[in-house]
Amino acid sequence: MRCPFCGYKEDKVVDSRATAEESAVRRRRECLKCGKRFTTYEYVEELSLLVVKKDGRREPFDRKKVLAGITRACEKRPISVEKMENVVSQVEHSIQKKSDREISSSRIGELVMERLKVIDDVAYVRFASVYRQFKDVGQFMLELKDILGKDKKKR
């Protein structure tokens, strides 16, 4: 493991624990050269999973891409990186539970939206607006009305 700050190859593990859903091990590490700390995640390597894109192309599942989309949606929101990582882990776990070796990118998007809706409405709407490719403000407003209607029912 290389230090992301100075590139040194040796570090020590300061803390190690399982993630909330126990699908990964989170390790806090400290570089032995510069002394800075960083976090790594250790996952069990599952069967290779192919994502079927809208245009029919197939590519390997990449949790970094899913995390990047969630991170953009959660920008400037009070959502920790750990929560975002948990969403990715939950989605990945949900996909792995199925016996299929392929999954559509649209199904992955739906799984992400289900989880973001519970965590943060703004992040959910941001993700949905990109994922569902809203054509105009009217579609966007319909989604907002749906969220606002559910909020009123909760109160």
DSSP 51-69: EE-TTS-EEE--HHHHHHH
How many alpha carbons fall within 13 Å on the CB side of residue 87? 30
**Domain spans, the chain:** 8-44, 48-154
Q: What is the CA radius of gyration of the chain?
A: 18
H/E element, 136: none
pLDDT of residue 79: 95
Condensed to tens digits (0 to 9), the pLDDT of residues 46-78 reads: 667 899 998 999 999 999 999 999 999 999 999
pLDDT average, residue stretch 28-51: 89
pTM of the model: 0.65
Q: What's the one-letter identity of residue 36? A: K
Condensed to tens digits (0 to 9), the pLDDT of residues 91-138 reads: 988 888 876 789 999 999 999 999 998 999 889 888 988 877 766 677
